Amino acid sequence: MSGVDLVLIDGSSYLYRAFHALPDLTNSQGEPTGALHGVLSMLNKLVRDQPDAHIGVIFDAPGKTFRDDIFAEYKANRPPMPDDLRSQVEPILDAIKSMGLPLLRSKVSKLTMSSVPCAVKLPRTERAYSYRPATRILLSSSTTRSRSSTR
């Protein structure tokens, strides 16, 4: 991943990935911390591996979106967020802000993001880049083509 200028993280994906991948970790007060530990571990590794990259984290905003309005069955078969995960969301958002990473909470769906081209202007190079969403979106100044990774 050398030469990457911009990395956009699907924070909601990282959140669930960390929660389901790690055992039930808790702090000394018995509060769940597995997702917090997992998300921060993944972000810290990325920051270490890409010290010159601009990294941003995007989370789904809470509540209903336009998807619920146009498709009543949206997420009908999906279980609600587990309480042990829900209690970790705000601490994770606070930690990301404390790391100095830009954080966006968006009601724009992944479907919309994937079907509408977007442009990002990098402050360091003042060059515009198009991207397509994935779990991580990687953009290099050496090419105008984007590379994506779901790891």
26 CB-near residues (< 8 Å, 6+ apart) = 32, 33
Pick the residue with more confidence: 45 or 73?
45
- Rounded to the nearest integer, the mean pLDDT of the chain is 76
Q: CA quadruple 20, 22, 28, 30: dihedral positive or negative? A: positive
For residue 126, pLDDT beyond 60: no
In the predicted structure, residue 50 carries a pLDDT above the cut 80? yes
Neighbours of 14 (CB within 10 A): 24
Check: CB of residue 14 under 8 Å from CB of residue 59: no
What are the pLDDT digits (tens) for 73-125? Answer: 877 788 889 999 999 999 999 999 999 999 988 766 454 444 344 444 455 55
Using pLDDT thresholds of 50, 70 and 90, give the confidence band for residue 62: confident
CA 53, 17, 133, 64 dihedral sign is negative
Classify 105 as helix, strand or coil.
strand
pLDDT at 8 (0 to 100): 84
Supply the pLDDT for residue 133: 44
Q: Which residues on neighbouring strands pair with residue 139, listed in sequence order?
A: 6
